[in-house]
Structure 1
């Protein structure tokens, strides 16, 4: 594959997971430091303020931690923490591994893990540090993070595939599945990792790789070609592909092989946000496509979430936000008060408010009636 082709793929995926160089490890005690807190003028609405001079970028991921703080990862401006009153911006000056961050989770220990372009960064409430000491891992551009039920950390890195860390051993999960769809890391870039209520781990690919499901022994690969591949493990955990089960006809197959995001609803259905064919739902037996309207086909669905009321929310690239109540779609855009129509992340907080992270570091909160802006918006 030539470098020009790789650069195009790299640019496409950077719309969601911006990639850059790595930084060295720095540990900083932030317990008594508030110099990076962005305090609003009395009476003003607190806002995310850019400090790194990045001309364009996204709010890539959102998290509410156990203490109720909201966290926002960005492509170029580090991470922001919002305590309900003011935003605090953490960058490499505070010990963050890199200012380009793609994903953020809180694990059972209470630590915050942040996927960056310089590997995984850990925040323990006081210090930022590398999650792995290896210099080679510090060069990984992280695209997704998951802690499973038993405490394993799963992560994907740009052109590196999927890794699993059990607290002691780190392994490249897909190397033992020797098949072109899985072995070609440059072609099959992983966009999201989730675990469903049954314990299955799902992996989605942004670059025509489709979706994989791993149940602990069997890896099933779904593609929009009416076929899917099944890989099995023997008693020694060696992977093999049976000639009798390699190709299995699936009349109701996933509609797109370019998946941006996944979520599981309360009924156990898996929903997929696709680049070209709206959203798709898998009920354990078949795939059903929704919303193949011109808006979805033109812009693509970038992120997906089910709220506490069971409503599915979709963020699109340039089409704003859509809600789906099981019957109809409703659109919200800048006309309704959304800060930017290119939505990259969605979070529902403990009070039921929805937060939408957008391009140009836009951030909007929706209380069900009104959108409120929490960022300094500058058009690209």
Structure 2
């Protein structure tokens, strides 16, 4: 079923390794269910779905798009609210949605800083307030309830009690940060344009393609020049040049830490990389992944992983792969964000709209 929401609602669109044994605790031991695309929400060609965050406590899906933020009731699938600049957002192009330990919703924007919202009240932070940059791409909560913020000029650590920002730039392997996650030991992991960094609270470590991050360039794709790597040059997020695919395995879009502690990283052209703390194992289209550019990662209630790529979505349960493309009902091939709903459904954000994948 395809649902078309009225224009008056301002358009509902969703936007964010070493081989361990495949029977690791990261994967469920029960048989995998069969899945299908249950619903789609068409938001129109100009709108990009960039971020999605579930808030089970309020039965809400927070949806960030290139046209604003939507608060969606998970039961009715209808918008409760739609927020744009006129409502308090600093910029309508939202790349990331985070929820901190105090219940504040954080909306990271494209060149507009970050806007914080709770109970009808708004506050926007810019670099003049301590924010590292105007371009915000990810959020993650630490074990103390504070907030990490990934930007195009390093990362911020925000103390929710004091309201103070701390910025890290030179400590990272690269200052352009896209993905964030915190593991059970309290270590924070960063996916950047130049590789992966990890901070344990005292020391920093980093890894690049030379260390094993990203699969080899088996298709001999050209290296991409569309990057700010090593510069302060602003650039778009296209992975194509003159209509052709490109390769940059250090460029990491997504970070997800599994319950067993393994780090899963989505790369540009190198597929998905899995790191167990010692060695890397990479998965690409030769293994069953639908596309080698991996924008997003989620984990379902069976313990399987979902990867949003440039060619669709793939599910991996540790043994078998299952993929979904536009032929299965996705509204677009580029899957920028994935998240698991409380009921086990997987929400998929693309250009043109949202698909919900669930059990048959």
TM-score (norm 1): 0.68
Distance 1:162 1:357 in 2: 25
- Pair 1:344-2:339 in alignment: no
* DSSP-derived class of the 2:210 partner: coil
Contact in 1 for aligned 2:132/2:155 (Cα 8 Å): no
Following superposition, the deviation at residue 174 of structure 1 comes to 2.7
Distance 2:202 2:133 in 1: 30
* DSSP-derived class of the 1:80 partner: strand
Contact in 2 for aligned 1:120/1:138 (Cα 8 Å): no
Tell me which residue corresponds to 1:126. Answer: 120
Contact in 2 for aligned 1:119/1:138 (Cα 8 Å): no
Aligned residues: 286
Tell me which residue corresponds to 2:347. Answer: 355
* DSSP-derived class of the 1:93 partner: helix
Label 1:56 to 1:337 Cα distance change in 2 as closer, same or farther (>3 A).
Answer: same
Label 1:133 to 1:285 Cα distance change in 2 as closer, same or farther (>3 A).
Answer: closer
Following superposition, the deviation at residue 169 of structure 1 comes to 3.1
Tell me which residue corresponds to 2:99. Answer: 106
* DSSP-derived class of the 2:71 partner: strand
Distance 2:115 2:210 in 1: 38
Tell me which residue corresponds to 1:82. Answer: 72
Contact in 2 for aligned 1:102/1:144 (Cα 8 Å): yes
Greater relative contact order structure (CA < 8 Å, 6+ sep): 2
Distance 2:287 2:145 in 1: 42
Deviations 1:323-373 (A, max 9, x none): 11111211111222222221111111111111100013x10111223xxxx
Label 1:259 to 1:227 Cα distance change in 2 as closer, same or farther (>3 A).
Answer: closer
Label 1:328 to 1:36 Cα distance change in 2 as closer, same or farther (>3 A).
Answer: closer
Following superposition, the deviation at residue 288 of structure 1 comes to 1.1
- Pair 1:195-2:182 in alignment: yes
Distance 2:43 2:322 in 1: 31
Which protein shows a greater Rg?
A: 1
- Pair 1:146-2:146 in alignment: no
- Pair 1:68-2:43 in alignment: no
Tell me which residue corresponds to 2:166. Answer: 171
- Pair 1:333-2:320 in alignment: no
Contact in 1 for aligned 2:290/2:314 (Cα 8 Å): no
Alignment match of 1:289 (pick from 277, 282, 289): 282
Contact in 1 for aligned 2:130/2:165 (Cα 8 Å): no
Tell me which residue corresponds to 2:220. Answer: none
Where in structure 2 are there 5+ consecutive unaligned residues? Answer: 1-7, 13-38, 214-247
Following superposition, the deviation at residue 128 of structure 1 comes to 2.4
Question: Which structure has the highest strand share of the two?
Answer: 2
Tell me which residue corresponds to 1:259. Answer: 252
* DSSP-derived class of the 1:258 partner: strand
> Cα RMSD between the aligned structures?
2.9
Contact in 1 for aligned 2:130/2:166 (Cα 8 Å): no
Tell me which residue corresponds to 1:378. Answer: none
- Pair 1:219-2:204 in alignment: yes
Distance 2:278 2:137 in 1: 29
- Pair 1:56-2:56 in alignment: no
Where in structure 1 are there 5+ consecutive unaligned residues? Answer: 1-34, 40-44, 229-254, 370-380
* DSSP-derived class of the 1:304 partner: strand
Following superposition, the deviation at residue 82 of structure 1 comes to 0.9
Distance 1:333 1:257 in 2: 26
* DSSP-derived class of the 1:225 partner: helix
> Following TM superposition, where does structure 1 have runs of at least 4 consecutive aligned residues deviating by more than 6 angstroms?
none
Contact in 1 for aligned 2:53/2:97 (Cα 8 Å): yes
Distance 2:127 2:42 in 1: 31
Label 1:37 to 1:274 Cα distance change in 2 as closer, same or farther (>3 A).
Answer: closer
Contact in 1 for aligned 2:181/2:255 (Cα 8 Å): yes
Following superposition, the deviation at residue 301 of structure 1 comes to 1.3
Distance 1:200 1:358 in 2: 30
